[in-house]
Amino acid sequence: MPDLREVADQYDREARRALNSAKIEHLRAMAASLRYIVGNRDAAHSDHLRLHYALRVDLPTRWCRKRGYTATLGYDGIYFQRDDEPVQIATVGDTLRWDGRRISVERAA
């Protein structure tokens, strides 16, 4: 069974081939909706969050804030910090891990 991201990509490919503007709009909306679902599902994990382009902008900052961190989005990723801990930066492809006490960044391969 295909992943929802793959299905969203299929809708995008169909939209590029479509000739009718209403159909193009519908297919793009479906792709965006599926990516929205994927992002929400990814952010629901309490112990990790993988950063990817389909993730809504507010989800990583909210995920960090929920764990007591100050978080903001910058040009090169998400910046987060708590109390006197050093600032950490995570970019697309990285995974944020919560061990119950602190967030760490697992770098993309």
Q: How many helices (H) and strands (E) does the chain have?
A: 3, 6
Q: What pLDDT score was predicted for residue 66?
A: 92
Ordered alpha helix ranges (H), 1-109: 4-17, 21-43, 58-65
Helices 21-43, 4-17: inter-axial angle, 10-degree rounding:
160
Q: What is the mean pLDDT of residues 10-37?
A: 88
pLDDT band, residue 2 (cuts 50/70/90): low
Q: From CA 47, how far away is CA 66, in angstroms rounded?
A: 12
Cα(28)–Cα(9) distance, integer angstroms: 10
At 51-79, the pLDDT tens digits run: 988 788 888 999 999 999 999 988 888 99
In the chain, % of residues over pLDDT 70? 95
Would the pTM of this model clear 0.85, i.e. be above it? Answer: no
Helices marked H in 44-98:
58-65
Give the tokens for residue 13.
Answer: 């490919």
Tokens of 87: 């600032």
> Are the CB atoms for 57 and 73 separated by under 8 Å?
yes
